[in-house]
Chains A and B, each alone.
Chain A
């Protein structure tokens, strides 16, 4: 069964600190992995996309890593800011023979940055 598991479910850190969010998946055949940021009351916004051959990708203070062998990804946030408070969703895609490629969404990690 195609699954995406994220940990922790929620996390509270102080402004300026770093944190790392985890994503484990069992999606097959793997196509790519995206991290989305979802602010409260808004739709998700893509932060990064990683394919099989990429093991790290940065977007400003966000750095995603991918280990396709162990089927694990992480999202590292450096020098957190209050605006980083949001849910972070890991989405893993699989190739499909016809129709739309399948996306499996994780439940998200709810991150709160405290001043």
Chain B
């Protein structure tokens, strides 16, 4: 079992460029999440998908879109990247969205926007 995988591991973009971060999980989890982690701040939820076919905004959704492609895959898209989106992005998955459901995190994508 690979758990949660993310691609790419690193990415450098210029302001205004677009890109999609990919995430897949092989644990048959229902729920998937996208977080960003910035220096000196705790992880913040961007979007989540409670189950296949549904997506909801988190704490910091502006500038992002998501797609729950199927039960395994959840992608995050930056339509027009801005320097403020420079961050490390983590995808996570869990059985459900209740707090007792442990979230399993991927290795992260380090994104720099110039």
Chain A interfacial positions (CB closer than 8 Å to B): 4, 31-32, 34, 41-46, 49, 51, 89, 93-95, 99-108
Contact = CB atoms under 8 A, between A and B. Distances in A.
B99 A32 contact: yes
A100 B42 contact: no
B53 interface: no
17 contacts: A32-B99, A34-B102, A41-B107, A42-B108, A44-B105, A46-B102, A51-B100, A89-B42, A93-B99, A94-B99, A95-B99, A99-B50, A101-B98, A105-B42, A106-B42, A107-B40, A107-B41
Contact of B107 (A31, A43, A49): A43
Contacts of B41: 107
Looking at chain A's contact residues, the main secondary structure is strand
B48 A100 contact: yes
Interface in B20-67: 31, 40-45, 48, 50, 56
A49 B100 contact: yes
Nearest to B40: A107
B100 A43 contact: no
Given A4-B42, A43-B92, A89-B42, A103 B99 contact: yes
Contact of A41 (B92, B97, B105, B108): B108
B106 to A, nearest CB: 5
A103 B108 CA distance: 19
Nearest to B97: A100
B4 interface: yes
Contacts of B50: 99-100
A70 B114 CA distance: 45
Given A106-B42, A108-B42, A100 B56 contact: yes
Contacts of A93: 99
A99 B43 CA distance: 19
A94 B98 CA distance: 9
